[in-house]
Structure 1
Amino acid sequence: MKKSSAILVVLVFVSGLFGKALTLTQAKYRNPQLKKFLYRAKGEKKKWAKFLLEDMPTIDLMTLDADSMLADFDALQNALDSVPWANSVPKEFFYRYVLPYRVSQEPLEYFRKNHWKELWERVKDCEDMKSAVYRLNEWAYEEMKYEPTSRWDQTAEQTLVRGIGRCEEMAILFIKACRAMGIPARDAYTPYWPFTNSNHAWVEVWTGDRWHFVGGAEMTTLDNGWFYKAVRRAAIIKGIAWGELDSADVPIYYADNGFTILNLTPDYSDTTGVSISVFDSKGEPVESVDVWISVFNFSSLRPVAHHYTDDHGKTHFVLGKAELFVSAGKDSLWDYAILPIFPGNKTTKITLQLRRTDIPDTMFWLKVVKDVSVEKDTSYKPPEISYCRHDLKQEKLTACSKDLFQHLPDSTDETKFIDCINRAGGNRENLFAFWSAHPDEHPDILKLWESMSDKDILLIDSSDWEVLWEQTMNMRKKFDELKYPDSLFWDYVANPRILWEDYTNWYPQIWKKVKKFAKYPFGKRIAKIEKVVDKIDTLVDKSYFGGMMNPVQVLRARTGGKIERLGVFVAMMRSFGIPARISWDYKAAEYFDPKSSEWKRFELAGKKKQKERKTGVVRAIFRDNGEPKTELDYYDNFSIVKIEDGAFSDLTPPNEVVDSFIVFRDIAVGDYAFLTGWRNGYGAPFIRIKPFTVGEGTTDVEVTLGIPPANMVVPGDLVIRRFKELGDEKIKDTRGRLLKKSDWKSGRVIVAFFDTEHESSLSTAKKLADVEDIPMIIFVETTSKSKAKSFCRQVGLKGRIFYGDKTKLKKILKFRQLPSILYLSDGDALLWTEGLNLNIDKCIEELH
Structure 2
Amino acid sequence: MKRIFKILFFFSLIFLFISNFSIESKKKELLKESEKYNIKDWAKFIIENSEDVDILNFNKDNFIFNLLSIKNNLEKVEWKDKIDDSLLFYYVIPLRVSQEPVENFYRVYGDTIFELVKDLSMRDAVLKINEWCFSKMEYKPTEPYDQNATTTIKRGFGRCEEMMILFIKALRSVGIPAREAYTPYWPFTNSNHAWCELWIDGKWYFLGGGEPGDLNNTWFKDQVKRTGIVLSPVFGKGEKGYDLLNVSKNYFKPVKLKILSEDSTIVSVSVFNFAGLLPIVLDTLKDSITFELGKNSYFIFGYKNGKMDYRIVDLFSDTSVTLEVKKDFVKDTSFFLKVSNVVKDNNESFYKPNFDSLNIVRKKNFERLEFSGKSGDSLFDTILKNSRGNYEKILSFYERIDCSKKEILKIFLKNFAPKDLVFLDTTNLYNELKSLKYQLDGIDDSIIENYLISQRIYYEPISFYRYQLSKNFKKFKDVDDEKTFEKVYRWVEKNIKDESSDNFYKTIKTPLETFILKKGSELERYILVVAILRSLNIPAKLNYDIKMISYFGKDGWKYKSFGNTENKKKLIFLKFFENGKNISKEKEIYEDFSIERFKNHPDIIEPEIAENCDSFIKVETDYDKYYLIYGFRDDIGSSFVSLKNIIGDTINIFLDSLKIFSLTQKKSLKSFKNFEKLSKYKDVRDKRKMLIFLDLNNEESISTLLINKDFIKSFEGFIYIFTNKDDKVFDLFNKENISVFKISKDDLKSFDVNILPTIIVIEENITLFWIEGLNLNLKNMIKY
Q: TM-score, normalised by structure 2?
A: 0.92
Shift of 1:196: 0.6
Tell me: CA distance 1:530–1:505, structure 2 relative to 1, closer, same or farther (3 Å).
same
SS of equivalent residue, structure 1 residue 420: helix
In structure 2, the partner of 1:296 is 272
Tell me: CA distance 1:704–1:767, structure 2 relative to 1, closer, same or farther (3 Å).
farther
Indicate conservation of the 8 Å contact 1:493/1:577, yes or no: yes
The answer as to 2:636 corresponding to 1:682 is: yes
Q: Deviations over 1:380-416 (max 9, x none)?
A: 1113432211122234434x53x31xx344xxxx4x5
Q: Structure 2 counterpart of 1:425, which letter?
A: R
In structure 2, the partner of 1:23 is none
Indicate conservation of the 8 Å contact 2:634/2:663, yes or no: no
Q: Aligned residue pairs: how many? A: 757
The correspondence of residues 391-406 of structure 1 with structure 2, limited to 5 A, is: 391-398=363-370, 400-401=371-372, 403-404=373-374
The answer as to 2:575 corresponding to 1:632 is: no
Indicate conservation of the 8 Å contact 2:756/2:773, yes or no: yes
Question: Aligned partners of 2:112, 2:593: CA distance in 1, in Å?
Answer: 48
Question: Aligned partners of 1:425, 1:707: CA distance in 2, in Å?
Answer: 51
Question: Aligned partners of 1:829, 1:275: CA distance in 2, in Å?
Answer: 42
SS of equivalent residue, structure 1 residue 612: coil
Tell me: CA distance 1:727–1:134, structure 2 relative to 1, closer, same or farther (3 Å).
farther
Q: Structure 1 counterpart of 2:43, which letter?
A: A
Q: Structure 2 counterpart of 1:393, which letter?
A: N
Of 508, 516, 524, which residue of structure 2 is paired with 1:548? Answer: 508
SS of equivalent residue, structure 1 residue 193: coil
Question: Aligned partners of 2:618, 2:663: CA distance in 1, in Å?
Answer: 35
Q: Structure 1 counterpart of 2:235, which letter?
A: W
The correspondence of residues 432-831 of structure 1 with structure 2, limited to 5 A, is: 432-433=395-396, 447-460=411-424, 464-472=428-436, 475-477=437-439, 479-480=440-441, 483-518=442-477, 521-534=480-493, 535-594=495-554, 596-597=555-556, 599-605=557-563, 610=564, 612-629=566-583, 630-665=585-620, 667-694=621-648, 699-705=649-655, 708-709=658-659, 713-714=662-663, 716=665, 720-726=668-674, 728-729=676-677, 738-739=680-681, 743-770=683-710, 771=712, 772=714, 773-782=716-725, 787=726, 790-793=728-731, 799-811=738-750, 813-831=751-769
Of 132, 148, 159, which residue of structure 1 is paired with 2:152? Answer: 159
Shift of 1:557: 1.3
Question: Aligned partners of 1:676, 1:68: CA distance in 2, in Å?
Answer: 46
Question: Aligned partners of 1:656, 1:142: CA distance in 2, in Å?
Answer: 44
Percent identity between the two aligned chains: 30
SS of equivalent residue, structure 2 residue 587: coil
The answer as to 2:223 corresponding to 1:236 is: no
Question: Aligned partners of 1:91, 1:424: CA distance in 2, in Å?
Answer: 41
Q: Structure 2 counterpart of 1:83, which letter?
A: V
Question: Aligned partners of 2:111, 2:596: CA distance in 1, in Å?
Answer: 51
SS of equivalent residue, structure 1 residue 369: coil
Q: Deviations over 1:305-348 (max 9, x none)?
A: 012120x3x11111112111111111221111112141xxx421
Q: Structure 1 counterpart of 2:617, which letter?
A: I
Q: Structure 2 counterpart of 1:681, which letter?
A: D
Question: Aligned partners of 2:245, 2:21: CA distance in 1, in Å?
Answer: 31
Shift of 1:195: 0.6
Q: Deviations over 1:426-453 (max 9, x none)?
A: 1223444556667678876555334221
SS of equivalent residue, structure 1 residue 274: strand
SS of equivalent residue, structure 1 residue 72: helix
Q: Deviations over 1:86-125 (max 9, x none)?
A: 1111210110000101100001112111111110111012
Indicate conservation of the 8 Å contact 2:669/2:769, yes or no: no
Question: Aligned partners of 1:71, 1:319: CA distance in 2, in Å?
Answer: 41
SS of equivalent residue, structure 2 residue 618: strand
Of 112, 117, 120, which residue of structure 2 is paired with 1:118? Answer: 112
Q: Structure 1 counterpart of 2:719, which letter?
A: M
Question: Aligned partners of 1:160, 1:130: CA distance in 2, in Å?
Answer: 24
Indicate conservation of the 8 Å contact 1:28/1:34, yes or no: no
Shift of 1:791: 4.5
Of 361, 366, 374, which residue of structure 2 is paired with 1:389? Answer: 361
Question: Aligned partners of 2:45, 2:172: CA distance in 1, in Å?
Answer: 16
Of 41, 66, 86, which residue of structure 1 is paired with 2:34? Answer: 41
Tell me: CA distance 1:795–1:470, structure 2 relative to 1, closer, same or farther (3 Å).
farther
Question: Aligned partners of 2:547, 2:659: CA distance in 1, in Å?
Answer: 39
The answer as to 2:376 corresponding to 1:425 is: no
Question: Aligned partners of 2:357, 2:119: CA distance in 1, in Å?
Answer: 17
Tell me: CA distance 1:462–1:29, structure 2 relative to 1, closer, same or farther (3 Å).
closer
Tell me: CA distance 1:706–1:121, structure 2 relative to 1, closer, same or farther (3 Å).
farther
Q: Structure 1 counterpart of 2:353, which letter?
A: P
SS of equivalent residue, structure 2 residue 643: strand
In structure 2, the partner of 1:353 is 324
Indicate conservation of the 8 Å contact 2:432/2:467, yes or no: no
Q: Deviations over 1:180-239 (max 9, x none)?
A: 000000000000000110000000000113100100010111111110011100111100
Question: Aligned partners of 2:562, 2:582: CA distance in 1, in Å?
Answer: 41
SS of equivalent residue, structure 2 residue 267: strand
In structure 2, the partner of 1:101 is 95
Question: Aligned partners of 2:62, 2:629: CA distance in 1, in Å?
Answer: 49
Indicate conservation of the 8 Å contact 2:722/2:740, yes or no: yes
Tell me: CA distance 1:212–1:228, structure 2 relative to 1, closer, same or farther (3 Å).
same
Tell me: CA distance 1:271–1:68, structure 2 relative to 1, closer, same or farther (3 Å).
closer
The answer as to 2:257 corresponding to 1:264 is: no
Question: Aligned partners of 2:51, 2:428: CA distance in 1, in Å?
Answer: 28
Q: Structure 2 counterpart of 1:568, which letter?
A: L
Indicate conservation of the 8 Å contact 1:76/1:182, yes or no: yes
Indicate conservation of the 8 Å contact 2:186/2:228, yes or no: yes
The answer as to 2:68 corresponding to 1:74 is: yes
Q: Structure 1 counterpart of 2:412, which letter?
A: L
Tell me: CA distance 1:120–1:591, structure 2 relative to 1, closer, same or farther (3 Å).
same
Deviates more, 1:759-768 or 1:568-577: 759-768
Question: Aligned partners of 1:428, 1:796: CA distance in 2, in Å?
Answer: 30
Question: Aligned partners of 2:664, 2:590: CA distance in 1, in Å?
Answer: 28
The answer as to 2:170 corresponding to 1:177 is: yes
Question: Aligned partners of 2:734, 2:412: CA distance in 1, in Å?
Answer: 28
SS of equivalent residue, structure 2 residue 302: strand
Question: Aligned partners of 1:693, 1:713: CA distance in 2, in Å?
Answer: 30
Question: Aligned partners of 1:624, 1:418: CA distance in 2, in Å?
Answer: 48
Indicate conservation of the 8 Å contact 2:452/2:539, yes or no: yes
In structure 2, the partner of 1:17 is none
Shift of 1:243: 1.4
Task: Give unmatched runs, 5+ long, in structure 2.
Answer: 1-18
The answer as to 2:311 corresponding to 1:337 is: yes
In structure 1, the partner of 2:7 is none
In structure 1, the partner of 2:51 is 57
Indicate conservation of the 8 Å contact 1:89/1:208, yes or no: no
SS of equivalent residue, structure 1 residue 75: helix
Shift of 1:814: 1.4
Indicate conservation of the 8 Å contact 2:675/2:684, yes or no: no
After superposition, the CA RMSD in angstroms is: 2.4
Question: Aligned partners of 1:309, 1:681: CA distance in 2, in Å?
Answer: 36
Shift of 1:461: 5.1
Question: Aligned partners of 2:78, 2:347: CA distance in 1, in Å?
Answer: 30
Indicate conservation of the 8 Å contact 2:230/2:246, yes or no: yes
Question: Aligned partners of 1:323, 1:91: CA distance in 2, in Å?
Answer: 40
Tell me: CA distance 1:228–1:542, structure 2 relative to 1, closer, same or farther (3 Å).
same
Question: Aligned partners of 1:68, 1:620: CA distance in 2, in Å?
Answer: 51
Q: TM-score, normalised by structure 1?
A: 0.85
SS of equivalent residue, structure 1 residue 323: strand
Question: Aligned partners of 2:603, 2:431: CA distance in 1, in Å?
Answer: 45
Q: Structure 2 counterpart of 1:804, which letter?
A: I
Question: Aligned partners of 2:398, 2:654: CA distance in 1, in Å?
Answer: 51
Indicate conservation of the 8 Å contact 2:686/2:718, yes or no: no
Tell me: CA distance 1:112–1:357, structure 2 relative to 1, closer, same or farther (3 Å).
same
Deviates more, 1:648-657 or 1:819-828: 648-657
Q: Structure 2 counterpart of 1:80, which letter?
A: L
